[in-house]
Amino acid sequence: MVVVGSFNGSRRRTPRRPVWIKTDTKNGKSQKSAGALGRDAAARLFSGPQTPTAIFCGNDQIAGGAFDTLREIGLVGPAVVAIVGFDNWDVMVLAARPQLTSIDVNLNGLRREAGDSVPEMIAEWRLSGVRRRPCSLVVRASSKP
């Protein structure tokens, strides 16, 4: 498995130790579109003798770019390589062929919770603590063998 994205400061460890491909950034901001980053990363990943069986992308746009490169080299389909995105942005996940598996972080709920917090923040001048929000994996054809 390979993780593709801009994960600045991430120190998480996973049992299988995925390979990380950090996208090129300058001052924390990418100089390319997310789709271009995905295309470049997939081209690097599939240019050598060892290739991954799965790619986790930092967002759905990066995944779309990876799909583009895989399609160009004839490797589209979850039987060859599974792809998972992040955001569950319907414009990207439903238009992809095959449709993209993605992590849904419930951005509408997050926006609503942020808006509901404004009066409390105004009254207390600050809001502290960690708020955990549920997310889910929406499985589609890009990760099904």
pLDDT(129) > 50: yes
Band the pLDDT of 76: cuts 50, 70, 90: confident
Domains in the chain, ordered, with CATH?
A: 2-106+135-143 (3.40.50.2300)
Look at 2-11, 21-30, 42-51, 109-118 and tell me which has the smallest mean pLDDT.
21-30
Residue 111 CA to residue 116 CA, distance in Å, equals 9
The residue that leads in pLDDT, 18 or 70, is 70
Three-class SS string for 89-120? Answer: CHHHHCCCCCCCEEEECCHHHHHHHHHHHHHH
Q: Is the pLDDT of residue 16 over 50?
A: no
Instruction: Calculate the alpha carbon distances from 78 to 21, 48, 53, 66, 85 in Å.
Output: 20, 20, 9, 13, 13
